[in-house]
Amino acid sequence: MKYFPYLLILTSICAFAQTKTVRNDSILIWNKNEMLIWNDFLSNKKHLNGRFDSDLVKHTSAILSISIDFLPKELSCKNVEDIIILPVVNRMKSFAILRSDEILKHEQIHFDIAELYARKMRKAIKGILEKNYDCNLQMIADIYYQLDEEHWETQILYDKEIRIKGEEDKNQRKWDKKVDSLLTVFKDYEQEIFLEDIEFE
């Protein structure tokens, strides 16, 4: 029994050493176990030149700064197998004018849409790497940019449909189901990526 405190300390050290994170002071990586929280909206609103356009205030409750990052930035035939595609929120550029559970859920769907397109990119690029034995970096870049453009078109469509007067709640529920269903369709291309596993350049 005298060894119990030492075993407890050793277990605690091992658990600490295995801790994986998806959030730091400035970014949040998409992860099914880590939802958005209001503390992810850290901007002091200076990203709109210190003023609010009245139309923006009228139609926007929060701004989530999202990107689908492609690593390594310097892609070559030597590192093509090491491609990482990850949806990221820039916490320092995201801000909220109003706060409610509904608004936070709406912003989470924006983040989920980014993850959906990251999965589509992973699938398409995996297909290229499996079918083309020659290193074709241009084809990979074309896929990324094409799907990133579709990603932004989808983000805009989502907001547009949610703002249809009198249809907001119904359309939000429709998008919730649609995005959840598509994430399931592309489940094989989900990747659990942690800050400890990557190097931002």
Q: What is the DSSP string of 75-128?
A: --TTTGGG-EEEEEEEGGG-EESS--HHHHHHHHHHHHHHHHHHHHHHHHHHHH
Taken in order 19, 24, 27, 28, the sign of the CA dihedral is positive
Report pTM.
0.85
Residue 1 in any domain: the answer is: no
Residue-wise pLDDT tens digits, 108-153: 999 999 999 999 999 999 999 888 768 889 999 999 999 999 999 9
Residue 95 in any domain: the answer is: yes
Residue 14 in any domain: the answer is: no
Residue 54 in any domain: the answer is: yes
Residues of the chain with pLDDT under 50: 1, 3-17, 49-57
Residues of the domain holding 175: 19-197
Number of domains in the chain: 1
